[in-house]
Amino acid sequence: MEYLRIAVESLFGFGALFILTKVLGKTQITQITAFDFIAALVLGELVGNALYDKEVGIAQIGFAVFLWGILIYVTEIITEKLKGTRKFLEGKPSIIIDQGRIQREELKSNKLDINQLQHLLRSKDVFSIQDVHFAVLETDGTISVMKKSQAETVTREDMNLPPQRSSLPRMLVSDGEVLWDNLKELGYDKRWLEAELHTQNYQRVQDVLIAEYTPGEQLFVMGYEPAG
């Protein structure tokens, strides 16, 4: 009965943690797959708890580890042999920026907001969303970026040009809300922002997914729908 209890609890833990990783989203398990994450958690807990539980013997620990090994091995075999199961068991990459436009539904389904997207882009040395042609959220939570051709890295030294001072882009509107601190730091106000939006056919801030400003350049605006 003890082995049956361990088997039932292990199967339950496997299913529960798998669902948890799906609910939390890809960005919670960066660099490892969902099953690596589950195995690391459960096997660590099994061994760690066993060290302080006098009632758990070597045979029981071995049985639980063996059972988990079988579950993970079978899962790998299933995904290898049955291609149709890969999407459900391993997930699939998500295109979160497609031809320069943020795919809001993909962000929502992957539990990702604009701030997290910016963080992932900065990890790839991309500081402005308008420089991105395609961005793909991989199954391990990392991001792959294809820059627009005009944003490809070419140094001023390559072009025999003198050094030029660079400015950091600032997000002024995120998901329909004005980031007042950033607007104030740049020395602008609500009237300026609204005027800039109107010039690009956006009548309300609530219609804007993002608005990004780089000093010396035009305000970059992306709405939930293309401006009419």
- Answer yes or no: pTM beyond 0.75: no
For the residues 19-40, what does the mean pLDDT come to? 59
Q: Per the domain annotation, does 198 fall within a domain? A: yes
- pLDDT at 193 (0 to 100): 94
CATH number of residue 126's parent domain: 3.30.240.20
Which helix (H) or strand (E) covers residue 213, if one does? strand 208-213
Judged against a pLDDT cut of 50, whether residue 184 lies above it is answered with yes
As a whole number of angstroms, the distance between CA 8 and CA 164 comes to: 65
Report the number of distinct structural domains present in the chain: 3
Mean of per-residue pLDDT scores for the chain: 77
Q: Per the domain annotation, does 162 fall within a domain? A: no
Judged against a pLDDT cut of 90, whether residue 71 lies above it is answered with no
Domain that holds residue 175: 170-223
Q: Per the domain annotation, does 27 fall within a domain? A: yes
Q: Per the domain annotation, does 118 fall within a domain? A: yes
- Among 227, 219, 225, smallest CA distance to 130 is for 219
Lowest mean per-residue pLDDT among 51-55, 66-70, 120-124: 51-55
Q: What's the Cα-to-Cα distance from 163 to each of 68, 126, 167, 211, rounded to whole Å?
A: 58, 20, 13, 28
Amino acid in the structure at residue 143 = I
Residues 76, 98: one domain? no
Angle at 196 between CA 195 and CA 199, to 5 degrees: 85
